[in-house]
Amino acid sequence: MVEGRPSSADGSLSSVFHWQSLSIKELDDGPKNKLDTHMERANNWIYREKYTMIAITRSRRLNLVVALIALAFVSALVVRTSASAFSDTTDNTTNQFTAGDVTLIDDDLTVAMFTAGNMKPLDAQTECITITYQGSLDASVTLYGALTAGDGLDDYLNLTVNRGSGGSFGDCTGFLSSENVYTGTLDGFTGTHTSFGTGAGTWAPTGGAPDDDMTYQFIVTLQDDNAAQGLTTTASFTWEAQNT
């Protein structure tokens, strides 16, 4: 008896068939034995299976290509539909912004208030200066000072600062005091009032026209102290404005 189980050349066929059992005698019968017949049938079956698989593969590839083409067409249609819309705009242009300012000037024409020399005990010097605020913003103004040179006369100089109206730089005629800003020594003033935050006599001018004026009167007196002989000192006074 002869049995067999053929498969495809690449071993991928899942179908299985069996040859019929044949006797030796049957193999010899006829001009074309039955084994040849069965082999031919097997080859025909393998041929059909092979080309069936090829056809299935080609069909799947064709379906994929068709799907991709359809997707591209739909995408193009959506883009074209989205772009085909009515539109309109409105705007607001030429928006401008300007910062406010704080502007503070005085009438000293860059000249020092005091040039007192050869002072003797109890000599007093009185000077005035007018400060003008021209800023657009409301502000706060304070006065502070610093020693810039000297060897200690500031300890023996009494200082009084008043503020009010009337008078001008170099001429206190008509000055009317409205507030005492400081009374003490020059050394005490410059040691205590050193910046805007620690400044003396806060003044609050209003921004915009008209300008706000404030006149400050300084009175400096040399103490009757023998230790002051021959000493010198130099000081500066600063008004600073900050917006509120």
Architecture in CATH for domain 104-243: Sandwich (2.60)
Q: CA 212 → CA 131, 163, 234, distances in Å?
A: 8, 13, 29
Measured in degrees and rounded to the nearest 5, phi and psi for residue 128 equal -125, 155
Q: pLDDT-based confidence at 20, cuts 50/70/90?
A: very low
pTM of the model: 0.65
Please name the residue that has the structure tokens 């006829």. 30
Does the pLDDT at position 221 exceed 60?
yes
Q: Checking DSSP bridges between strand 124-133 and strand 104-106, what pairing results, if any?
A: antiparallel
Q: Which two tokens stand for residue 76?
A: 């193009």
Q: CA 74 → CA 51, 60, 61, 80, distances in Å?
A: 34, 21, 20, 10
Question: What is the strand order of the sheet 124-133 is part of?
Answer: 104-106, 124-133, 212-222, 157-165, 176-185
Least confident of 8-22, 69-83, 160-174: 8-22
Does the pLDDT at position 241 exceed 50?
yes
Domain boundaries, the chain: 1-81, 104-243
Do 168 and 107 meet the contact criterion of CB atoms below 8 Å apart?
Answer: yes
